[in-house]
Amino acid sequence: MPGRVSTARSSRSSAAVSHKSSVQTLNSRASTASRISSPYVETPEETPENELRTQVSSMFRDAQRTTASHRKLVINLRKIQEACCYEPTSKKKNKTGAEDFDEEQFTYEFTRCVLRVMPVKKSENVGERAIRFIGLFLRHANEKDNELIPEADQEAGIMVETPSTRLTSHLMAAILPLLTAKEKFVRYRSTQLISHVINSLEAIDDDLFQLLRHGLLKRIHDKEAMVRVQAVLGLGRLAGNEADGEAEDSDDDDSGAGLLEKLLDVLQNDPSADVRRSLLVNLPILPNTLPFLLERARDQDPATRRALYSRLLPALGDFRHLSLSMREKLLRWGLRDRDENVRKAAGKLFRERWIEDCAGTAGAEDGQEGEAAAGEAKSPSFSGLLELLERIDVVNSGVENGVALEAMKGFWEGRPDYRDAVTFDDNFWDTLTAEAVFMARSFNDFCLNEGNGKFEALIEEKLPEVTKLAFYLERYITVLVEALKRVAAQEPSEEEEEEETVEQEFIVEQLLHIARTLDYSDEVGRRKMFALLRQSLSIPDLPEEVTKLTVEVLRGICASDAAGEREFCSVVLEAVADVHDTIMDEATSVDDDESFHSAKSVVSSDGSPSKSQKTEEEDQEKAIREIMVNMKCLHIVQCMLENVEGNLQQNANLVAMLNNLVVPAVRSHEAPVRERGLLCLGLCSLLDKSLAEENLTLFMHFFSKGHSALQITALQILTDILNQHGAQTLETNPALLKVYLKALKSGSKAPEVQAAATVAIAKLMLGRVISDSSPVIEDLLRTLVVLYFDPSTAHNQSVRQTLSYFLPVYSFSRKENQDRMRKVALDALHKLFEVQETLDDEGDAEAEMVGISTIGAHLIDWTDPRKCYVPGNQLTLGDEGSKKAVNGDVHLEFARDLLERLGSSISREEKKLLAPLLQKLHVSPASTHSLLREIYAEVSDAIDSKLVADATGRNALFKIHVSLGKIVNSLKEKEDDSNGLRESMRSSVNSRKSRESVAPSVTGEEEDNADKTELGKVKEGEVEEEDDDERTVIGGRRDSLVSELLSDGDVEMSGL
């Protein structure tokens, strides 16, 4: 253990370190560093080599190799520091060789080695190891020095100056000026070191705290993201101290607004995902910072969103401290994220962390211990699971589009212990709650739909059979009906009764969801369920959602063939008749009672009869009752028609229903009845083409005269009819397309109608229901393109999202579609140019519009022939050779359209915007040769006539001219080569023919070889001349294959 601090060898006393002097040093060094142009750190002048430098340097050298030896090296370096700073307590102890040096020399050598780390690049791991070593040493040294401080000073909370604190202050004073260095790696390493030291030490001097805070605040706006990341790592620790009330009395301008507010602003607005993610993990979790942290669930970076679910939320503590709406949002955002890793993190959070919070409620102490040992297996707690479902409000989130179903699907998949341990006994079904029945329903859905059927055995093992479930369903339907009657009879202020009714309705809905998936091969169970549902459907007070599920289950029980469909329709229509009769019978009995009392009053009264005073009220009640009857019956019919597929005319029940219920409803003067009747008539039209054709005019009338909701319904009906019955219906009713055009242009009055029309037209065009020969298809496409870029649709995200999918998919699906897009492109551009000019004239700052050049780039991309789908010729992204061989006629025609538009009487500004589009066109050598030559000639004429005046446009014109010229010249060279090859082949054929004609004369000669050769050559030449003139063959051996293969030498030898 070292003794007192050495004063003999220390060149300065403890009072020599003043915060004022350190500030002056900072300012002077900062000004010097700002003028440094060298990319390296300006190190102090070298002193002569000594033993202390050798020892300290060796420590740093070994620390760079691996982190495994850091602890040992820190201890050794601490011994050297103690030898320099403290008086030895015993002379017999092992000497380190540093006893002859003082504290100032140790500080100098330590700082010297640290400065050598600053220029190390980020990619070098040695820099990371060295900085970790420095932080570890400073923490260890401060801890050892604090052990020597008297207990009285420690209890007083006074920060005593020690050799380690002086070393830290000196080191930070040397590193702080480097925060403003020009070299980015120096700024990075200096910021990294300061942040690491801040996170390593438990306490820092107040003045040094302010200096570090001031320096790091400057770096949160550094142009390099890696520097900003390190700055926020250090400031996150300092922000926690400021939140506790520290550093609030600073007069510095940078700290006036508060450190937390600045860091939250960086969290929201920094362009680097690494910076936002570092802040997300390191900012203190406080009531005022939590909303900003949780909104990172919608961050554009997937890794940041994942960090929220995998690191922040598990560290948050009990999730029940969050509000109910925030829990639901976090679950929905996480489980429906587009990134798979985020979805996995959110599912893991739900099934592992949140369930443990609820399962540990009974024993808080045990739960806290369990959090530390997350890897230990715990027995399933179904009371905790039910509480978890209650905490996410399963009554509202457990509906069809709610997030609870997705959460429980991942829960059953990721927790096999709960899946195996779950039991659904009689007591469970007798005491159902909303959470319990949803747990059973989600378990049933999981076993049916996941695992390719390997979990279906669990359904038979754990869930009741059809008969037993029918009895449970009957009981809870009875409870629901009784609750509904009590609510109807009581005052509207009874909220508890209403909540109970909602819960009972949810229980019945979940039981019906389970009943939809059951196997009805058991005839006893099937009959029981069939009778129960038939009886339940006749209850007038049954809620609409329960009615819909009841009809769907009934359809599943009946057979899937035509006979089963007729049985299903007859049963449902009988229930409709029962509902109608029940309500009307109640009304008749009330009327009878009222008429009896009225007659009595007439007899006993001398004045005017009291019945006349109630006539208006009775008529109003009767009208309301009729509306209620018709709405209930029409809803049941609507649910039935949604589950019917057969022909309408072949089903007598449906025809009777149409004539007796639907048609009178459409003719009703009451708007609710008329609108629901219209919906039922539209469903009937899907089952019969003639009925659809007869009522098209009626649907169009409803669109033109109705309100927004009715217009959307009419549009959906018309679209379904066209999809169901084909394009012939559209061709026979040309006025139908005008309805869609009118709907597309109704954005300012009814944006929801415009959105519905956009979806409808996109479906019709992608399905080719609107044929290519239709006269309005180009108008529709042009309108959609304009809508996509028009600033008036900027707030209508439904339209924008639909078109962002439709336009590229439609263009890339067929060559014909790309050519159609090319035809409407320039007209759409002209329209959008006019819109932009109007905006500029009006000076509307809120309505921002995409630039015309960007719009043109989109249009060229949509017409790019390399991206078009060709059946049997799928091109990969890396198959550049195949892409170049694609026929590019569509872009050549685009170039012709651009040249024609540039030559027309458009404004000079529009020409400046159109001309640069020429250089973005793809000129393919595989295009039609004649078209290539035509476009090349037109481009050449445009250059000669100086069609484009501005320099950018001329460059684009020259570029496409060069591209076309290369291809046209290569085509000309290929044609010349082919012509030359054809001529050479013709001459070779003629020479072969001449040799065949000479061969017989040579074989008849009896001269020596030399004379024969001379004679053969002479005659061969003579025959060639004759062949050229006469075009005849002398000799009759054309059919000999051997003669064609013989060479000249062979011909000469044949004469021997």
List pLDDT tens digits, range 138-176. Answer: 999 998 888 887 766 666 566 778 888 899 999 999 999
Please report the DSSP string for 852-884 in residue order: HHHHHHHHHHHT-GGGS--TT-PPPTT-HHHHH
Any residues with CB less than 8 A from the CB of 865 and at least 6 apart, and which? 815, 818, 886, 887, 888, 889, 890, 891, 922, 924
Most confident of 461-475, 723-737, 839-853, 1011-1025: 461-475
Query: How many other C-beta atoms can be found within 10 angstroms of the C-beta atom of residue 434?
Result: 22
- Predicted confidence (pLDDT) per residue in 791-813, tens digit: 989 889 999 999 999 999 999 99
pLDDT at 179 over 50: yes
Confidence tier at 23 by pLDDT (50, 70, 90): very low
- Predicted confidence (pLDDT) per residue in 404-432, tens digit: 999 999 999 999 999 999 999 999 999 99
Alpha-carbon gap, residue 760 to 28, rounded angstroms: 71
Confidence tier at 734 by pLDDT (50, 70, 90): confident
Q: Terminus-to-terminus CA distance in the chain, angstroms?
A: 121
Ramachandran angles phi, psi of 586, nearest 5°:
-60, -40
User: Residue 4: what residue type?
Assistant: R
Q: What is the pLDDT of residue 491?
A: 60
pLDDT at 366 over 50: no
- Predicted confidence (pLDDT) per residue in 92-146, tens digit: 555 666 677 888 888 999 999 999 999 999 999 999 999 999 999 999 999 888 8
3-class state of residue 380 by DSSP: coil
Alpha-carbon gap, residue 556 to 119, rounded angstroms: 74
Confidence tier at 18 by pLDDT (50, 70, 90): very low
Measured CA distances, 45 to 48, 51, 108, 110, 112 (Å): 10, 18, 11, 14, 10
Closest CA to 806 of 843, 837, 752, 770: 770
Lowest mean pLDDT among 155-169, 306-320, 427-441, 812-826: 155-169
Measured CA distances, 511 to 412, 468, 485, 941 (Å): 19, 12, 21, 77
- Predicted confidence (pLDDT) per residue in 910-963, tens digit: 889 999 999 999 988 888 889 999 999 999 999 998 888 889 989 999 999 999
CA dihedral of residues 170, 173, 178, 179 (deg, nearest 10) = 130
Q: What angle do CA 175, 178, 184 make, to 5 degrees?
A: 130
Residue with tokens 């457990």, as numbered in its chain: 398
Alpha-carbon gap, residue 148 to 3, rounded angstroms: 9
Q: What is the pLDDT of residue 840?
A: 74
Q: What angle do CA 1026, 1031, 1035 make, to 5 degrees?
A: 75
Q: What is the pLDDT of residue 973?
A: 81
Residue 5, strand partner residues: 86
Lowest mean pLDDT among 288-302, 549-563, 591-605, 1013-1027: 1013-1027
More confident residue, 841 or 592: 841
Q: What is the mean pLDDT of the chain?
A: 81
Alpha-carbon gap, residue 968 to 962, rounded angstroms: 10
> Rounded to 5, what percent of the chain is helix, strand, coil?
75, 0, 25
Q: What is the DSSP letter of 610?
A: G
Where does residue 718 rank: exposed (0-12), middle (13-18), buried (19+ CB within 10 A)? Answer: buried
pTM recorded for the entire structure: 0.77
Confidence tier at 1048 by pLDDT (50, 70, 90): very low
Alpha-carbon gap, residue 411 to 172, rounded angstroms: 51
Q: What is the DSSP letter of 796?
A: -
Q: What is the pLDDT of residue 950?
A: 87
pLDDT at 752 over 90: yes
Query: How many other C-beta atoms can be found within 10 angstroms of the C-beta atom of residue 875?
Result: 17
Q: What is the pLDDT of residue 581?
A: 84
- Predicted confidence (pLDDT) per residue in 42-72, tens digit: 555 667 778 888 889 999 999 999 999 999 9
- Predicted confidence (pLDDT) per residue in 64-79, tens digit: 999 999 999 999 999 8
Alpha-carbon gap, residue 28 to 699, rounded angstroms: 83
Half-sphere exposure for 327 (CA within 13 Å, toward CB): 21
Tokens of 1008: 């020596």
3-state SS, one letter per residue, for 485-500 = HHHHHCCCCCHHHHHH
Ramachandran angles phi, psi of 5, nearest 5°:
-70, 135
- Predicted confidence (pLDDT) per residue in 464-520, tens digit: 999 999 999 999 999 999 988 888 777 655 566 677 889 999 999 999 999 999 989
- Predicted confidence (pLDDT) per residue in 232-267, tens digit: 999 988 887 666 554 444 444 444 348 889 999 999
Please report the DSSP string for 914-957 in residue order: HGGGGGGS---TTS-HHHHHHHHHHHHHHHHTT---SHHHHHHH
Tokens of 288: 């005022």
Alpha-carbon gap, residue 466 to 524, rounded angstroms: 9
Alpha-carbon gap, residue 558 to 821, rounded angstroms: 49
Average pLDDT over residues 183-188: 94
Lowest mean pLDDT among 214-223, 291-300, 558-567, 1042-1051: 1042-1051
Alpha-carbon gap, residue 97 to 83, rounded angstroms: 8
Closest CA to 557 of 574, 533, 577, 537: 533
Cα 936 to its chain centre, rounded Å, is 44
Query: How many other C-beta atoms can be found within 10 angstroms of the C-beta atom of residue 705?
Result: 10
Alpha-carbon gap, residue 202 to 126, rounded angstroms: 26
Specify whether the backbone of 393 is left (phi greater than 0), alpha (psi in -120 to 50) or beta: left
Q: What is the DSSP letter of 352?
A: I
Q: What is the pLDDT of residue 1025?
A: 39
- Predicted confidence (pLDDT) per residue in 758-785, tens digit: 999 999 999 988 888 887 889 899 999 9
Alpha-carbon gap, residue 831 to 272, rounded angstroms: 38
Average pLDDT over residues 22-28: 33
Query: How many other C-beta atoms can be found within 10 angstroms of the C-beta atom of residue 570?
Result: 15
Q: What is the pLDDT of residue 888?
A: 86
- Predicted confidence (pLDDT) per residue in 634-654, tens digit: 999 999 999 999 889 998 999
Where does residue 834 rank: exposed (0-12), middle (13-18), buried (19+ CB within 10 A)? Answer: exposed
Are the beta carbons of 970 and 925 closer than 8 angstroms? Answer: yes
Most confident of 24-38, 79-93, 508-522: 508-522
Alpha-carbon gap, residue 571 to 1031, rounded angstroms: 94
Are the beta carbons of 116 and 175 closer than 8 angstroms? Answer: no
Q: Which long-range contacts (CB under 8 A, 24 or more apart) does 457-466 make?
A: 458/419, 462/422, 462/423, 462/424, 463/424, 463/514, 464/424, 464/429, 465/522, 465/525, 466/518, 466/519, 466/520, 466/522, 466/525, 466/526, 466/528, 466/529
Closest CA to 721 of 686, 688, 694: 686
Tokens of 138: 């400073």
Please report the DSSP string for 751-782 in residue order: HHHHHHHHHHHHHHHHTT-S-TT-TTHHHHHH
3-class state of residue 667 by DSSP: coil
Residue with tokens 């002086």, as numbered in its chain: 166
Q: What is the DSSP letter of 249?
A: S
3-class state of residue 270 by DSSP: coil
Q: What is the pLDDT of residue 361?
A: 67
Confidence tier at 400 by pLDDT (50, 70, 90): confident
Per cent of the chain over pLDDT 90 is: 50
- Predicted confidence (pLDDT) per residue in 580-619, tens digit: 887 666 655 545 444 434 444 434 444 444 555 567 777 7
Q: What is the pLDDT of residue 1002?
A: 44
Directed axis angle between helix 225-243 and helix 273-282, to 10°? Answer: 20
Please report the DSSP string for 491-529 in residue order: -TT-HHHHHHHHHHHHHHHHHHHHHHTS-TT-HHHHHHH
Cα 537 to its chain centre, rounded Å, is 42
